[in-house]
Structure 1
Amino acid sequence: MTAAALAPTAFINSDHPDIRAFAAAHAGSGSPRDKAVALAAAVRDAVPYSLYAFQVAPEPLVASAVLAAPSAYCVPKAVLLAATARAAGIPARVGFADVRNHLTSPRFEAMMDEPNFRWHAYTALHIEGRWLKATPAFDRVLCEKNGVAVLTFDGTQDSIFQPFDTAGRKSMEYIAFHGEFDDLPYDRFASEMRRIYPRLLANLARIRAERTAL
């Protein structure tokens, strides 16, 4: 059942030298649970989270490219955690769900085609006979800046969202799950994003082009 969740794939390229080196540097020498906990924290903080990095071109979604990126959003970071986990011998998949983020900035929300975040990603890790969900998206610096508790994974239960910020305001809630996959289901994901968020994708592409031109 878990063999496919250990193999390198087009996007979860766990055999890439950089991925293997990252896993070796951060997983430690403990149990699979200890390694999973360490890698979830390492991936969370190694690549800063940014909604402005949202795009659906395939190349930036490959794990080794994510590791080298200046920032990334939830999907590539979930792919990266899956790759580093597989490199450490831990079966891993990429899971997707629709969520409502109540703390989205007004500026970004104004660009969105709808208020919900469709196909938000997490990583499913197989630990001691159970599949557990971990979300490596939101790095420590971002959480502290926005007054949200840092999301940690302890290897014994799912860790997928902060329900409230430190002021008690509702932060995030899950609306629906789409399933877990042995590789990024790129065609389906990209098609859905282009269908649901055409205006957002166009706006972000324009912003990135303007920043590059500066």
Structure 2
Amino acid sequence: MTESLDATLSPTEFLDHRSPVVREFVDRALAGTGAATDTDRAVALYYAVRDGIRYEVYDADLSRRGLTASRVIERGAGFCVHKSIVYAAALRAVGVPSRIVYADVRNHLASPRLRELVGGDVFRFHSLTSVHLGGTWLKATPVFNKLLCRLYGIKPLDFDGRTDSLYHPYDEQGRRHMEFLTLRGEFDDVPYSLVTDGIRQAHPLLFASTDRTAAGSLVTEAITVEGS
């Protein structure tokens, strides 16, 4: 039976790909790339999200408005949950089906302060994006931008539109980096209460308020550790 992809192309509250903000982001990302196929466009948009939206877990907005693709683009920053939403919305904007994926992961290279706020090295509801290309679903992770990867000694994740793009298990020095523990599922839209309540319950110290995470800077923390 042929899979119906209608729900994975539709605009939603969070994947608001018909908004002018998302459309402008997509047009800017594809300008001058010569992207002629779905795969070309999916790859170009991957890098636009990976390096054009700054990865930052601090001062992140987890309100309903804060988790819309248009708002994340306006802020220009967010962590995995936010960036996966932007990528999924951007894909739908060019007619490529997408879903949001959630999993629990162990991050061995988190900064000391982030480990304290998270309560260890296991992060609940890590997010990535599922992309439908060439008749199959691929997983892509447009999360850590180049600067952050360089500062933390992690190889940036690439995506070729043909194979999965997941976190490498080791960093450039051969140290353990990230491993997947539990796949929580794929969703046509953001299951808001499931995700936000789950993150708050698992990592209460990370939050400065109901909807916003604690203040700080991953770049500053990386530079401080590197210089100490």
TM-score (norm 1): 0.92
State the percentage of identical aligned residues: 39
CA 1:111–1:18 in 2, change beyond 3 Å: closer, same or farther?
A: same
Residue identity in the other structure for 1:21: E
CA 1:118–1:205 in 2, change beyond 3 Å: closer, same or farther?
A: closer
CA-CA distance at 1:195 after TM superposition: 1.7
CA-CA distance at 1:187 after TM superposition: 1.3
Distance 2:51 2:161 in 1: 17
1:39-188 residue pairs with structure 2 within 5 A?
Answer: 39-188=45-194
TM-score (norm 2): 0.86
Distance 1:202 1:149 in 2: 31
Distance 2:143 2:107 in 1: 13
Q: Which residue of 2 aligns with 1:13?
A: 16
Residue identity in the other structure for 1:22: F
CA-CA distance at 1:206 after TM superposition: 5.2
| Unmatched 5+ stretches in structure 2 | 217-228
Distance 1:24 1:200 in 2: 35
CA 1:206–1:126 in 2, change beyond 3 Å: closer, same or farther?
A: closer
Distance 2:214 2:168 in 1: 31
Residue identity in the other structure for 1:207: A
* Conservation of the 8 A alpha-carbon contact between 1:55 and 1:201: no
Aligned-residue Cα RMSD (Å) equals: 1.6
* Conservation of the 8 A alpha-carbon contact between 2:107 and 2:122: yes
Residue identity in the other structure for 1:167: Q
CA-CA distance at 1:24 after TM superposition: 2.2
Distance 2:141 2:78 in 1: 13
* Conservation of the 8 A alpha-carbon contact between 2:59 and 2:214: no
Q: Which residue of 2 aligns with 1:4?
A: 7
Distance 1:42 1:121 in 2: 17
Q: Which residue of 1 aligns with 2:219?
A: none
CA-CA distance at 1:70 after TM superposition: 3.8
SS at match of 1:138: coil
1:34 aligns with 2:37: no
* Conservation of the 8 A alpha-carbon contact between 1:74 and 1:120: yes
CA-CA distance at 1:114 after TM superposition: 4.0
* Conservation of the 8 A alpha-carbon contact between 1:96 and 1:177: yes
Q: Which residue of 2 aligns with 1:211?
A: none
Residue identity in the other structure for 1:51: V
Aligned mate of 1:207, from 191, 215, 223: 215
SS at match of 1:93: strand
SS at match of 1:202: coil
| Unmatched 5+ stretches in structure 1 | 209-214
Distance 2:181 2:213 in 1: 27
* 4+ residue segments displaced more than 4 Å: 203-206
CA 1:51–1:133 in 2, change beyond 3 Å: closer, same or farther?
A: same
CA 1:21–1:55 in 2, change beyond 3 Å: closer, same or farther?
A: closer
Q: Which residue of 2 aligns with 1:189?
A: 195
Distance 1:200 1:76 in 2: 16
* Conservation of the 8 A alpha-carbon contact between 2:157 and 2:167: yes
How many residues end up aligned between the 2 structures? 208
SS at match of 1:119: strand
Distance 2:213 2:98 in 1: 31
